[in-house]
């Protein structure tokens, strides 16, 4: 039916919008394993909770239902959220002027009402034919990013990426707290492969340059790699379960649970040269099944994850000697910086599990700016005012101690296990650094070996953890079996701490 003036009725308009683009685009997406945008929303949210905004945007234009983006509010696990979802059956999910205005409005609504903002992204970028209307103005595309930055740290911003996020649109995921990418379909890039070849002469592919695997293992722009869209949506819901709705609230709690499997004593080898998996250690320390790892495929020498300790959400930063010996590199410093700031923004206490030889040295990492990246990590740790605990599991050498919230960085407690060592460097490196000439001057092999062994014993005695505890370097020593209870009690005591840090507007991030 149509109205008396020949226009479609409201029910007809709603039906058109609900169908999205032409059937051939739905079929093409289905062949790639992609869901219709409205089906994505339906899977993510509580049934019947979605209230759509701007449903009739560009309703009178041909082939532009909702102008290619669905926005509105809903609940996820009973908690209010705001969301947007690109409809890739409508001009490949590209942006027009009303698309941009809808996205800006929904982020503003999320910010003003203090609820998480979810981005379900699948967009080819701006419509060049509409650039004057959507690109340069005060409510143009740039306002999306300005609004995201304003909301950052105030509300959680979560992105699931199902297809392309092209050109300037790639910054929507970039400004989110976490980006979940679907293998094979998701991509982020500032210029297409054709544009890159035209501008630089480089021949590449979208997958090599901006694919999901690359971004979650090499660039670090993506945080989680999943195989299916359902897994991506479930990851979004699971992630939000660890976060408050906004920065004024505390994270949601659950019923306390027993720790996960594993013996904290047996998991740590006696020799610091022998690697062990800090992920297994964290699982044995925290409530069973509560680990949510972020960036599992990138900078693996550092573990960052959410978990629960007696039902309370905590963030864990742990050195993993299974990868690169647990040494801190440029990427792992950046990984820690982002995670520490995320936890601090949303009132999530931090537990640092230190087994760190220090920051990497050498010409290659110096050229990459290891000092600058390390300074960012140390700045983030310094500025974090949530309850934070430094647990020296095995070793904390050099500036690695500082990066892992050592005693000089106002942790609420520095806790040491009997296996702990704190020093500028390990015994072997220290002996060689200080006594290299004397060692080289000894020609007899047995005599040289005995001399070096004696120096190592003397050095180990100087950095003995009981000695350091006696000097108040650490607050308490505990047996491995006592660590979980110790942390739980100290966390309870620290929840009411004063969170002021410095008399200023904000710090100046290292370049």
Is 201 exposed, middle or buried, given 0-12, 13-18 or 19+ CB atoms closer than 10 A? exposed
User: Is residue 156 in some structural domain?
Assistant: yes
Residue 239 confidence class, pLDDT cut points 50, 70, 90:
very high
- If asked whether residues 122 and 86 sit together in one domain, one would say yes
Residue 6 confidence class, pLDDT cut points 50, 70, 90:
confident
Nearest to 158 by CA among 213, 222, 208, 77: 222
pLDDT at 464: 86
Nearest to 387 by CA among 337, 320, 312: 312
Q: What is the pLDDT of residues 251-304, one digit of tens each?
A: 999 999 999 999 999 999 988 889 999 999 999 999 999 999 999 999 999 999
Nearest to 108 by CA among 63, 160, 73, 61: 73
- If asked whether residues 398 and 446 sit together in one domain, one would say no
Task: Give the contacts of 192 (CB within 8 A, at least 6 positions apart).
Answer: 166, 206
pLDDT at 459: 87
| pLDDT over threshold 90, residue 191 | no
Q: What is the pLDDT of residues 95-116, one digit of tens each?
A: 999 999 999 999 999 999 999 9
User: Is residue 507 in some structural domain?
Assistant: no
Residue 2 confidence class, pLDDT cut points 50, 70, 90:
low
> Cα 62 to chain center, whole Å?
40
- If asked whether residues 39 and 186 sit together in one domain, one would say yes
| pLDDT over threshold 90, residue 190 | no
User: Is residue 510 in some structural domain?
Assistant: no
User: Is residue 271 in some structural domain?
Assistant: no
Q: What is the mean pLDDT of residues 352-360?
A: 97
Give the whole-angstrom CA distance, residue 318 versus residue 301.
9
Q: What is the mean pLDDT of residues 149-154?
A: 98
Residue 427 confidence class, pLDDT cut points 50, 70, 90:
confident
Mean pLDDT rounded to a whole number for the chain: 94
Task: Give the contacts of 321 (CB within 8 A, at least 6 positions apart).
Answer: 275, 276, 278, 301, 355
User: How much is the pTM?
Assistant: 0.94
Which of 20-24, 229-233, 364-368, 425-429 has the weakest average pLDDT? 425-429
Which of 167-176, 243-252, 340-349 has the weakest average pLDDT? 167-176
Among 241, 270, 300, the domain boundary falls at 241
**CA separation (Å) from 358 to 318, 332, 371?**
13, 12, 12
- Structural domain of 44: 10-241
Give the whole-angstrom CA distance, residue 452 versus residue 432.
9
Is 453 exposed, middle or buried, given 0-12, 13-18 or 19+ CB atoms closer than 10 A? exposed
Contact 302, 336 (CB under 8 A): yes
- Tokens read off for 290: 């509560």
Counted domains in the chain:
3
Q: What is the pLDDT of residues 455-495, one digit of tens each?
A: 888 888 888 899 899 999 999 999 999 999 999 999 999 99
Q: What is the mean pLDDT of residues 310-314?
A: 98
Task: Give the contacts of 154 (CB within 8 A, at least 6 positions apart).
Answer: 111, 114, 246, 247, 345
User: Is residue 390 in some structural domain?
Assistant: yes
- If asked whether residues 15 and 164 sit together in one domain, one would say yes
User: Is residue 220 in some structural domain?
Assistant: yes
Contact 427, 271 (CB under 8 A): no
Which of 58-72, 165-179, 187-201, 303-317 has the weakest average pLDDT? 187-201
- If asked whether residues 193 and 231 sit together in one domain, one would say yes
CATH number of the domain enclosing 218? 3.90.226.10
Q: Would you put residue 492 in left (φ > 0), alpha (ψ -120 to 50) or beta?
A: alpha
- If asked whether residues 85 and 219 sit together in one domain, one would say yes
Give the whole-angstrom CA distance, residue 174 versus residue 314.
24
pLDDT at 169: 81
User: Is residue 500 in some structural domain?
Assistant: no
| pLDDT over threshold 90, residue 38 | yes
Q: What is the mean pLDDT of residues 329-348?
A: 98
Give the whole-angstrom CA distance, residue 264 versus residue 278.
10
Share of the chain above pLDDT 70, in %: 99
User: Is residue 250 in some structural domain?
Assistant: no
């Amino acid at each position: 039916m149509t109205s008396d003036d020949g226009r479609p009725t409201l029910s007809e308009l709603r039906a058109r919008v609900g169908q999205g683009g032409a059937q051939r685009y739905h079929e093409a997406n289905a062949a790639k394993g992609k869901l219709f945008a409205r089906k994505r929303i339906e899977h993510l949210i509580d049934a019947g909770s979605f209230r759509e905004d701007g449903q009739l945007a560009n309703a009178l234009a041909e082939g532009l239902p909702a102008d290619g983006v669905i926005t509105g509010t809903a609940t996820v696990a009973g908690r209010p959220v705001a969301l947007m979802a690109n409809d890739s059956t409508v001009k490949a999910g590209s942006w027009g002027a009303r698309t941009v205005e809808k996205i800006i409005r929904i982020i503003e609504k999320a910010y003003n009402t203090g609820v998480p903002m979810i981005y379900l992204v699948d967009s080819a970028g701006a419509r060049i034919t509409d650039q004057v209307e959507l690109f340069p103005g005060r409510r143009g595309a740039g306002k999306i990013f300005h609004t995201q930055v304003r909301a950052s740290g105030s509300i959680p911003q979560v992105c699931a990426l199902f297809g392309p996020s092209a050109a300037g649109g790639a910054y929507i995921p970039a400004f989110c707290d976490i980006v979940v990418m679907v293998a094979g379909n998701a991509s982020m890039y500032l210029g297409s492969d054709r544009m890159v070849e035209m501008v630089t002469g480089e021949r590449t592919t979208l997958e090599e340059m901006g694919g999901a695997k690359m971004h979650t293992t090499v660039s670090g722009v993506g945080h989680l790699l999943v195989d299916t869209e359902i897994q991506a949506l479930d990851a979004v819901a699971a992630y939000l379960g660890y976060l408050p709705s906004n920065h004024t609230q505390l994270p949601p709690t659950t019923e306390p649970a027993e720790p996960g499997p594993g013996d904290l004593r047996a998991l740590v080898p006696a020799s610091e040269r022998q690697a062990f998996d800090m992920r297994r250690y964290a699982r044995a320390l925290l409530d069973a099944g509560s680990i949510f790892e972020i960036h599992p495929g990138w900078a693996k020498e550092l573990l960052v994850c959410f978990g629960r300790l007696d039902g309370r959400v905590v963030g864990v930063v742990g050195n993993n000697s299974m990868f690169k010996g647990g040494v801190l590199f440029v990427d792992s410093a950046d990984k820690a910086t982002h995670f520490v700031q995320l936890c601090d923004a949303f009132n999530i206490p931090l537990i640092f599990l230190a087994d760190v030889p220090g920051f990497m040295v050498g010409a290659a990492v110096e050229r990459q700016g290891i000092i600058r990246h390390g300074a960012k990590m140390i700045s983030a740790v310094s500025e974090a005012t949530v309850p934070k605990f430094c647990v020296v599991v095995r070793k904390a050498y050099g500036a690695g101690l500082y990066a892992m919230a050592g005693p000089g960085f106002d942790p609420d407690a520095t806790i040491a296990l009997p296996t702990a060592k704190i020093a500028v460097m390990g015994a072997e490196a220290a002996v060689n650094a200080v006594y290299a000439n004397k060692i080289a001057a000894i020609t007899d092999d047995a005599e040289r070996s005995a001399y070096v062994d004696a120096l190592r014993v003397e050095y180990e005695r100087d950095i003995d953890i009981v000695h350091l505890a006696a000097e108040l370097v650490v607050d308490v020593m505990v047996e491995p079996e006592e660590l979980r209870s110790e942390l739980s009690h100290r966390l309870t005591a620290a929840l009411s701490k004063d969170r002021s840090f410095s008399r200023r507007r904000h710090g100046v991030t290292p370049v």
